[in-house]
Amino acid sequence: MKQFWITSGTYDYLKSLKAKDNSVVVMEGEETAVAFKEGQEEAPFEEARHYEIVDEVGNLSDEGYVVLNNIPVTSEGRPLFEERFKDRAGTIENEEGFLAIRILRPTRNNTYVVFTEWDSEASFKKWRESQAFEKAHQKSGPDSGEKPSFIDGPSYLTKLQSRNEE
């Protein structure tokens, strides 16, 4: 199964890891820089969050805007959560500016990650305000009346942006 690693650190340090392994993607987060990598071969990170990729569409890009939706899930709820994502709307793929999605199963904690990458923040915002977003979340999203049984705490977003390096 393909794997995924996420770590944080200073931008320059993470860039030095990318110099050794070009498949590492480095972005600016709100507080620190963040690097991620996917594949079979272990990431060159000292400490990382580790995931298995449950579903994926599109290629990761060094240039883009990434939003991670971090969703704590109970251990009993994992199969149901993954079922729901197997049946996901699958309309995000058609959105303008969409680059990639990964559904990430945590191996060391309870928090799944819905990773999406966009060509720009504007494209993400447009989808976030769209009917497609609303439809995909009728049973689960921020505006749905009842909280799904598998949820184990509040979900939170992490936003990352590639640095403009001309």
What residues line the site for ligand HEM (CB under 6 A)?
Answer: 67, 69, 71, 84-85, 88-92, 101, 114, 116, 136-137, 139-142, 148, 151, 155, 157
At closest approach, how far in Å is the CB of 41 from ligand HEM? 27
Which lies closer to ligand HEM via its Cβ, residue 45 or residue 124? Answer: 124
At closest approach, how far in Å is the CB of 154 from ligand HEM? 8
Which lies closer to ligand HEM via its Cβ, residue 14 or residue 103? Answer: 103
Which lies closer to ligand HEM via its Cβ, residue 13 or residue 85? Answer: 85
At closest approach, how far in Å is the CB of 95 from ligand HEM? 8
At closest approach, how far in Å is the CB of 37 from ligand HEM? 20
* Full 3-state SS string of the chain: CCEEEEEEECHHHHHHHHHHCCCCEEEECCCCEEEEEEECCCCCCCCCEEEEEEEEECCCCCCCEEEEEEEEECCCCHHHHHHHHHCCCCCHHHCCCEEEEEEEEECCCCEEEEEEEECCHHHHHHHHCCHHHHHHCCCCCCCCCCCCCCECCCCEEEEEECCCCC
At closest approach, how far in Å is the CB of 83 from ligand HEM? 8
Which lies closer to ligand HEM via its Cβ, residue 8 or residue 111? Answer: 111
Which lies closer to ligand HEM via its Cβ, residue 8 or residue 155? Answer: 155
Distances (CA, A) of 68 to 6, 29, 113: 11, 11, 6
Tell me the two tokens of residue 21.
Answer: 């392994």
